[in-house]
Structure 1
Amino acid sequence: MEVKKQNKFALFAIIGLFAIVVLLLTDILIGMSNIGFKDIIDSIFNYNKSKEHLIITTIRLPRVLLCILVGASMAISGLIMQNLTRNPLASPQVLGINSGATLAVVIIMVFLPQLGYKIKILCAFLGAGLIGMFVYVIGSVKNLSPLKITLVGISIQLFLSSITKSIMLFNESKTSDLVFWMIGGVHHAQFIHILAILPWFIVSILLITVISNSMDTLKMGDSIAISLGENVKLTKIISTITVILLSSSSVAIAGPISFVGLITPHIVSKFGVRNFRGNFILCGIYGGNLLLLSDIVSKLLKYPYESPVGIVTAFIGAVFYIFLANKEMKRGGVSEK
């Protein structure tokens, strides 16, 4: 049985990695400038600073790499939250964590625009951390059901969104840039953005790898995990910190791209891999795939012009969320009590 599970993981990991290569190359090929597959190969092995090579190395390659990093970050953070809360509707976006990071970044962009990406990321950490802590405390003190915690998160998200939009309303000169950023996009990607998000991604992966076995035990419930010798409180703290690191760094760079963290864990759950470590690796792979595919669709919507990738993920995610919520309510997976 164990060998069969390992074979499933290896199979879907290989399929996912192959899909990433295909989608990455496809994404690089699509754009206003005519780029061929030969240009991509030459830019790697025979770089000559031609127009095509510059477009590939300075615009399109950073864009697809940022897609992979942000998609993986949001998917893994969604998986952690769904396991942590045992709530299939949970994600950083639904529980208001992304909104906290968004508000913090908008404040910086409007009032302190001269500050760099490192400060934006730190402020996003602060905003997301405060909201994550608030939702966690409310849920723990009131002993709320998964559905009620979700409703609290959505209420906080709407409240913070109204504050964010009010700031934008009274700063119209900067509204156009903010609106495009708030929809969520990777069109502006540069290697400096990759370098800004990569350290936090690596730290997060190391943290979640350390507690992956504990996350498996936590699925059985807090009381059973404690009886088996697990430090439940420490596991939850590290998990929450990991979610904040992944989602906040992604929001600071690419904006609040919606629903990748909700959709991907449900796709991966169909693969039949039961251990948390295997699932979070697959979520990283398929989260990157989902955002790459969404980026390709966003390019084709108004070709040769582009739309923000957040429009595509929001549309797919809204339909998926309604379907999922209805399914969970019918089978009693999300209790109203």
Structure 2
Amino acid sequence: MITPNQDGKQSRNGSLLFLFSASGLLLVIGVICSLKWGQSQVSWHTLYEAITYKGHEKAHLYIQTLRLPRALMACIVGIQLALAGLLTQLTTKNPLASPHIFGINAGAAFAVVLGLVAVPTFTNMGSILFAFIGAALGALLVWSLTGTGHKQYVRLALAGITIHFLLSSLTEGLILFNQQATDSMIFWLVGSLSQVAWKEIWLILPFFISGLLMFTFMLPSFRLLLVDDEIAAGLGQRIAIVRAVSMLLVIVLAGSAVALCGPIGFICLIVPHIARALVGSNLAVLAPLTALLGGALLVYADFISRFVAFPYESPVGIITSAIGAPFFIYLARKQGGAKVQ
């Protein structure tokens, strides 16, 4: 005999299965659309031959060397930014928090632009290294200004926004010293996937895999971030270490994404909220759904960016900002910086 509790559990499991299946299907459809449509039209037969590597004509190479790595990068970066946003909101206990707002993205962008201006032979690996250093320094600078006490998270938000605008202003100042690359830098600073190739995929893949493994391994500990620090400390848990590991993971995920694709805005902010509205705050379910939705959102945003000013391309950051800015205003009015539940 099935009890009401068992019936409710089965119903919830069925809903979760449908939700994850629909999210996965949405992501796959987005990748297929990204591969098929763009400045150059290809047939379904040509697309099939290209992704199965059964053809080597110009159209096949176009898909294999340009569209396929771009779609994969959009998926990877979307997942990284969404998970980084989820961790930032948990760590700061602020639903309006994200690496973009709290100095991490701005620090990474500043360091990368500094490297581009100062080092003539600046490589992609160098940009990743500089991005990590800039993200870490930005985060440390924000945290050093917050202090301790019951108003720590309020000061954290104010310090983060201040440092973000400071670093953004310094970045814009650096661009003035490199007039030859101003257009490409501005395009990158908005967030762009247009220059992605397979070498960028191989560069970001180790950080992507290690970040996911680290996130999975630390998932039980990250549940402590859902409760008050006093309660976690009373249970004998080292909440300071968990928070430090969390911010380190945010730097790895967001820093590598910013280094290769620029500071794409609002993915970190809106995706965790959408996932939380669908499944609640159970991290075992919330984290994978956040990753799926993050990948899907950036894939579709990149696809749409190709047609905004067709036949020219627009930075994907314009699309994510157009989606995220109204959402941010809605959250600010509704929650006003309330703590994550």
**Alpha-carbon distance, 1:111 to partner:** 1.5
Contact 1:16-1:285 within 8 A present in 2 as well: yes
1:71 aligns with 2:78: yes
Identical residues among aligned pairs (%): 35
4+ residue segments displaced more than 6 Å: none
Instruction: Provide the rounded CA distance (Å) in 2 between the counterparts of 1:251 and 1:46.
Output: 31
**In structure 1, which of residues 297, 318, 325 is the aligned counterpart of residue 304 of structure 2?**
297
**Aligned counterpart, 1:34:** 41
Deviates more, 1:289-298 or 1:70-79: 289-298
1:45 aligns with 2:39: no
Unaligned 5+ runs, structure 2: 1-7
**In structure 2, which of residues 215, 225, 237 is the aligned counterpart of residue 218 of structure 1?**
225
**Alpha-carbon distance, 1:43 to partner:** 1.2
1:181 aligns with 2:188: yes
Q: 1:46 to 1:67 in 2, by over 3 A?
A: closer
Unaligned 5+ runs, structure 1: none
**In structure 2, which of residues 272, 282, 285 is the aligned counterpart of residue 278 of structure 1?**
285
Deviates more, 1:129-138 or 1:94-103: 129-138
**Aligned counterpart, 2:168:** 161
Letter paired with 1:134: L
**In structure 1, which of residues 3, 16, 19 is the aligned counterpart of residue 23 of structure 2?**
16
**Alpha-carbon distance, 1:244 to partner:** 0.1
**Alpha-carbon distance, 1:146 to partner:** 3.3
**In structure 1, which of residues 302, 324, 327 is the aligned counterpart of residue 331 of structure 2?**
324
**Aligned counterpart, 2:129:** 122
**Aligned counterpart, 1:255:** 262
**Alpha-carbon distance, 1:215 to partner:** 1.7
Instruction: Provide the rounded CA distance (Å) in 1 between the counterparts of 2:122 and 2:29.
Output: 37
**Aligned counterpart, 2:144:** 137
Contact 2:88-2:99 within 8 A present in 1 as well: yes
**In structure 2, which of residues 330, 335, 338 is the aligned counterpart of residue 333 of structure 1?**
338
**Aligned counterpart, 2:5:** none
**Aligned counterpart, 2:250:** 243
**Aligned counterpart, 1:230:** 237
Q: Deviations over 1:22-42 (max 9, x none)?
A: 011111112111112221111
Deviates more, 1:198-207 or 1:63-72: 198-207
Deviates more, 1:259-268 or 1:223-232: 223-232
**Alpha-carbon distance, 1:229 to partner:** 3.3
TM-score (norm 2): 0.93
Report the aligned-residue RMSD: 1.8
Letter paired with 2:267: V
Letter paired with 2:302: D
Aligned length: 333
Deviates more, 1:301-310 or 1:63-72: 301-310
**Alpha-carbon distance, 1:274 to partner:** 3.0
**Aligned counterpart, 1:81:** 88
Q: 1:3 to 1:140 in 2, by over 3 A?
A: farther
